[in-house]
Amino acid sequence: MPELRKDPIIGRWVIVATERARRPDQFANPVRETVPEKPCPFCEGAEAQTPSEIYAIRTKNTPKNSPGWDLRVVPSQTPFLKIEGELERQGKGLYDLMSGVGAHEIVVETNQHIGNMSDLSEDQITNVITCYIDRIIDLEKDQRFKYVLVFKNYGFSAGGGRVRHARSQLIAMPINPKRVKEELVGAHEYYEYHERCIFCDLVKQELAQKDRLILEIDGFIAVVPFASRFPFEVWILPKKHSCDFVSLSADERKNLSKILKQVLLKLKVGLNDPPYNYIIHTAPFRRQKMGYWRTINDDFHWHIEITPRLTRIAGFEWGTGFYICPVTPEAAAKFLKEVTIK
Amino acid sequence: MPELRKDPIIGRWVIVATERARRPDQFANPVRETVPEKPCPFCEGAEAQTPSEIYAIRTKNTPKNSPGWDLRVVPSQTPFLKIEGELERQGKGLYDLMSGVGAHEIVVETNQHIGNMSDLSEDQITNVITCYIDRIIDLEKDQRFKYVLVFKNYGFSAGGGRVRHARSQLIAMPINPKRVKEELVGAHEYYEYHERCIFCDLVKQELAQKDRLILEIDGFIAVVPFASRFPFEVWILPKKHSCDFVSLSADERKNLSKILKQVLLKLKVGLNDPPYNYIIHTAPFRRQKMGYWRTINDDFHWHIEITPRLTRIAGFEWGTGFYICPVTPEAAAKFLKEVTIK
C-alpha cells in the first residue's frame, strides 16, 4: 500500500509510492547528459576571465585578481538581479512589482579544476562555509536586502552549466523566498502550540528512531526527511538550536564541513556521481521588524537541504506542490548509511 | 533592470530576468531527448494490453475492451495510489501519515497513434473534456476523496514516458494538493478584502491591458500570467465566474476545446513541438464542510495552467519556490499571439 506522508514543517503531502518503488541501487545510474565542457574561467591563472573579485582567501601579498588564492568570490557574469538602483515598489492594477535589485555572486571553491565539492578537503569546505558566512554578514549591511539564498547546482541537469569547477552561488534579494516564509510560518505555529522548536523535536525523534538517520557527527545529523520529495533527499541539521547559519563558531564550521563532505561522498560513491543541489535554509535579515516573525530566534532552526537529481520531475509536481517519491525514505537512508567511503 | 513580480493569487515572487532574457524565438529549439519509443498499448486493437476499461466513448454495441472506441479510460498499470483499502490516518511522533488510497486513471484521447493533443480534432478534445467531467463526477461519489487532479504530461522530458499516444491522467486523492490550498486561501483573502473574485479581476485587467493576452474566444481567454514561472506559461480562464470545472455546459465544453486546441497548436508551431504539461485547477469536493472554504463558490475560479518545458529548472527553484523566468511574459504573449496556425 502506498503511503501519504506529511511534511511536518510546511504541511506538504507526499506520496511514497511503495508499489512503484525501485530498489535504492536501481538509482545508481542517473540519466547522464553528456555535454561538451566549456573552457574554465574559474581556474587559477584565468582570473581575467571573471569580473573583479569581491572576496578571496589568498596567500599573503598576492594582488587581487591574480594567482595565489584558495577560494574566490566574483560577481555573476549574468546576474539574475542587479546591485545598482533603488528598491522601488509599484502596483499595476491587480499586480505588484519591484525593481530587481540584489546581488548575485559566485563562490569559486578551489583554484584547481575539481568538479564535485565532495572531492575537496575538509579544510577547503570549511573555507567555503566561512566564506558564505562572511558574505552573508557583508550583504546584510545593505538595507535593501531581506535574504541571502546560498545554494549549489552540481552537474548539468542540476543547473550546473557546462563548466565542471566546484562553485556555489549567493543571491541577496529584497524579498523572502516563498518556501522560507512557509517554513517560518509552519515552525512558528508549531512553537505557538508546543512551545518547542519543531526542528529540535525532529532531531530528537530521528536520533531515537534511527531508521532515517544516515550520520551523526560532532553536533550534526544527516537524515532523509520523513516526507522527502525526491529519492535520496538529505537534510543536515545542527543538534544545537540556532535559527542563524551565520552564528556558527569556528569549531562548528569544521564539524559541518566534515558531515557535509561525508554526505556528498556517500552520494557520489553510492549513486554514481549524480547531479545534485543544496540550499542553506537560514533565518532572514532584520527579523526584529517582522511582526509575528519576531519569534524566529526561538521558532526556526537553520539546516541544509541536499537533493540529488535522479528522477525527472513531472510538471504536475511543480504545478501542484504534490510530490511522488519512488523510494521510501527509510530504504534510502539505509542505503546511504551502508555506502562506505574511504 | 530585472523585475520582481508577485503572483497575485499565491504571493510567489518571480524574477523576470530581462538582462539574461533571450528573444522568444531562441526558445524554439528545446533540448530534445531522443528516446526510443516503446510499443504502444493505447492504440485500437491493443485493448488487452491495458487493465479493463472504466469508461469509453464507443460505437454502439461494440463490447468493452474491444475495438470500436474513440476515447477510453483505463486504470494506470503502475498507480501512485490504490483504490482498495480504508483511509487510515495515524501519527508517528511528530509525523502524520495516511494510507495511500486513491484512484489513478489514464484517459486515452484517441484510438489512433497521435502524440500531441493539438493534432486532435475539436470534437475529440470536447470528448476529452466531457470525459474529465464524467470521471470527476463519478469519483466524487467516493467519500474518501477530496480532490481529483487532472493533468497531462506530453513529451519525454515533461514526464510523458516513451509512448507517444495522446493521453491524460486523473488522480483522485484523499487530500488537497498544497498549491490548490494556497490558491484557495489566496483567493479567499482577496475576496474578504475586495468582495470580488481575484480571477474575475485578473480576466478584466488582462482584457483591458491586452499585452499578455494571446486569445479571446467565445467566453474564454488565454494569457501569459503576469508573474509566470516558466517561459511561455499560458493560463486559460473562463470569463464567466465558476469555481468548478465540472459545471461546464455542452457549449462551453466546445468553446474550451477550441481555445485549448489553438493554444496547443501555437505552442507546437511556434516553439517546435515542445514537451509540455497542463493541469486543471478546480475547486475541491465537499466544500460545504470546509470552514472558511465554504465561500469557495464565490472566491475561486477554475482555470487551466499550461507549462511548456523549455528550460532546465534549477534545484534552488523547487527548493525555495523562487523562480527565474528568462523571457518577459509580454514578449512571450506577443510571440504566441503572432504565431499563425492553419
How do residues B42-80 score in pLDDT, each as one tens digit?
A: 999 999 999 999 999 999 999 999 999 999 999 999 888
- Mean of pLDDT values over A331-336: 95
Residue A22: band (very low, low, confident or very high) from pLDDT cuts 50, 70, 90: low
- pLDDT recorded at residue A246: 97
A15 in reach of chain B (CB within 8 A): yes
Interface of B with A in 235-274 (CB under 8 A): none
| Contact between residue A7 and residue A314 where contact means Cβ atoms under 8 Å apart | no
Residue predicted with more confidence, B212 or B321: B212
- pLDDT recorded at residue B210: 97
Task: Give which of A161, A46, A16, A181 is closest to A111, Cα–Cα.
Answer: A46
* Least CB–CB distance from B277: residue in A15, A309, A315: A315
- pLDDT recorded at residue A19: 61
A55 in reach of chain B (CB within 8 A): no
- Is residue B294's pLDDT more than 80? no
Using one digit for the tens of pLDDT, what is the confidence trace for B92-129? 999 999 999 999 999 999 999 999 999 999 999 999 99
- pLDDT recorded at residue B95: 96
- Mean of pLDDT values over B13-20: 79
Question: By CA distance, what is A190's nearest residue in B?
Answer: B94
Write out chain A residues lying below 8 Å of B80, CB-based.
2, 15, 17, 20, 324
% of chain A with per-residue pLDDT over 70? 94
Write out chain B residues lying below 8 Å of A321, CB-based.
177-179, 182
CA distances to A338, B7, B22 from B243, in Å: 51, 19, 36
Q: Virtual CA dihedral for B96, B97, B98, B99, nearest 10 degrees?
A: -160
- Is residue A288's pLDDT more than 70? no
Task: Give which of A58, A248, A297 is closest to A137, Cα–Cα.
Answer: A248
A65 in reach of chain B (CB within 8 A): no
Cα(A190)–Cα(A100) distance, integer angstroms: 34
- pLDDT recorded at residue A160: 86
* Least CB–CB distance from B151: residue in A79, A305, A316: A316
| Contact between residue B242 and residue B133 where contact means Cβ atoms under 8 Å apart | no
How close does chain B come to A179, measured CA to CA in Å? Answer: 5
B242 Cβ contact list (under 8 Å, min separation 6): B248, B301, B302
State the ipTM, two decimals: 0.90
Q: Sketch out chain A's domains with CATH numbers.
A: 3-338 (3.30.428.10)
- Mean of pLDDT values over A186-211: 96
- DSSP H helices, chain B, are 122-140, 178-194, 198-209, 250-270, 296-299, 315-320, 329-338
Residue B20: band (very low, low, confident or very high) from pLDDT cuts 50, 70, 90: low
Residue A174: band (very low, low, confident or very high) from pLDDT cuts 50, 70, 90: very high
- Is residue B29's pLDDT more than 80? no
- pLDDT recorded at residue A313: 73
- pLDDT recorded at residue A28: 65
Mean pLDDT of chain A: 92
Q: Which one-letter DSSP state was computed for residue A219? A: T
Residue B305, SS3 per DSSP: strand
B289 in reach of chain A (CB within 8 A): no
Interface of B with A in 300-319 (CB under 8 A): 305, 307, 309, 312-316, 318-319
Q: Poorest-confidence range of A56-60, B79-83, B285-289?
A: B285-289
Mean pLDDT of chain B: 92
| Contact between residue B71 and residue B107 where contact means Cβ atoms under 8 Å apart | yes
Write out chain A residues lying below 8 Å of B169, CB-based.
316
Residue predicted with more confidence, B27 or A257: A257
- pLDDT recorded at residue B239: 98
- Is residue A31's pLDDT more than 60? no
Instruction: Identify from A178, A196, A228, A325 which residue to disrupt to test chain B contact, counting B C-beta atoms within 10 A and taking the largest count.
Output: A178
B153 in reach of chain A (CB within 8 A): yes
How close does chain B come to A232, measured CA to CA in Å? Answer: 14
